[in-house]
């Protein structure tokens, strides 16, 4: 089945126009996935998912509003720990909507390390991975930063084996996404990234066993 995801490019360009050279961010989810697999795999993109360093994010948020985007949140009652997350919905979990199209941005303090990126997914729960896991990519001529295929594979795999056991929506799609990524991942890079992923809960930092991800 063919899907037209033409709406993605103008929305991505609106975002990247506002991003300074030193602003740290990356795309995840379907936009990142299809930017790597577009030659042989296609599916509908329902929204654009971006994780952005909290530093200077006000510039991006205000700029999107000037471009005509309405600000909401993507947190809803289906989320685990909904009540706790909703308290941060206006300062961390953003949905920008324009003409029925959604740009979803989660902000986080990426940390000061040049070798590692720390992403606070939930309050006091962070996912740390090597900074080499963010690369340049493009979708239909629009250029942006994205997690690498290997990093995306780790995120999808870890998600299926953890919160995926409780949130059963789109399980078949997520499994199929993994199968498509398997066709293009560099196995050596995958092992390197998977061997250096940590989960930080409060002050406790725990290395996730690579065989749990792979």
In a domain, 80, yes or no: yes
Residue keyed to tokens 């009540």: 83
pLDDT of residue 90: 73
Work out the average pLDDT over 177-187: 94
In a domain, 2, yes or no: no
List CB contacts of 192: < 8 A, sequence separation 6 or more. 130, 132, 150
pLDDT band at 61 (very low <50, low <70, confident <90, very high): very high
Range of the domain at 197: 8-213
| CATH number assigned to the domain comprising residue 169 | 3.30.460.40
pLDDT tens digit string along 20-59? Answer: 999 999 999 999 999 999 899 999 999 999 999 999 999 9
pLDDT of residue 130: 96
Rounded Cα distance between 177 and 156, Å, is: 8
In a domain, 111, yes or no: yes
In a domain, 68, yes or no: yes
pLDDT at 174 over 60: yes
In a domain, 117, yes or no: yes
Residue keyed to tokens 């725990």: 206
In a domain, 3, yes or no: no
Work out the average pLDDT over 197-204: 92
Work out the average pLDDT over 176-183: 94
H/E/C letters for each residue in the chain?
Answer: CCCCCCCHHHHHHHHHHCCCCCCCEEEEHHHHHHHHHCCCCCCCCCCEEEEEECCCHHHHHHHHHHCCCEEECCCCCCCCCHHHHHCCCCCCEEEEEECCEEEEEEEECCCCCCCEEEEEEECCEEEEEEHHHEEEEEECCEEEEEECHHHHHHHHHHHHHCHHHCCCCCHHHHHHHHHHHHCCCCHHHHHHHHCCCEEEECCEEEECCHHHHC
- What tokens appear for 110 in the block? 């990426």
pLDDT tens digit string along 91-113? Answer: 788 999 999 999 999 999 998 89
In a domain, 123, yes or no: yes
In a domain, 180, yes or no: yes
pLDDT band at 164 (very low <50, low <70, confident <90, very high): low
- How many domains are there within the chain? 1
pLDDT band at 83 (very low <50, low <70, confident <90, very high): low
Q: What is the pTM of this model?
A: 0.90
């Amino acid at each position: 089945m063919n899907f037209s995801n033409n709406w993605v490019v103008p929305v991505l360009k609106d975002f990247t126009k506002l991003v300074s050279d030193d602003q740290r961010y990356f795309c995840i989810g379907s936009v990142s996935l299809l930017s790597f697999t577009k030659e042989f795999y296609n599916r509908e993109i329902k929204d654009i998912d971006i994780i952005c360093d909290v530093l200077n994010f006000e510039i991006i948020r205000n700029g999107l509003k000037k471009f005509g985007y309405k600000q909401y949140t993507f947190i809803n009652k289906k989320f685990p720990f909904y009540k706790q997350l909703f308290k941060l919905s206006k300062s961390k979990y953003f949905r920008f909507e324009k003409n029925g199209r959604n740009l979803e941005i989660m902000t986080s303090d990426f940390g000061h390390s040049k070798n590692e990126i720390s992403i606070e997914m939930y309050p006091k729960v962070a996912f740390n991975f090597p900074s080499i896991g963010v690369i340049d990519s493009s979708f239909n001529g629009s250029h942006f930063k994205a997690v690498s295929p290997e990093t995306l594979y780790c995120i999808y795999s870890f998600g299926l084996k953890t919160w995926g056991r409780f949130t059963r929506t789109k399980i078949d799609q997520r499994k199929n996404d993994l199968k498509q990524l398997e066709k293009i991942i560099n196995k050596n890079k995958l092992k390197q990234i998977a061997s250096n992923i940590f989960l930080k809960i409060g002050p406790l930092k725990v290395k996730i066993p690579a065989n749990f991800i792979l």
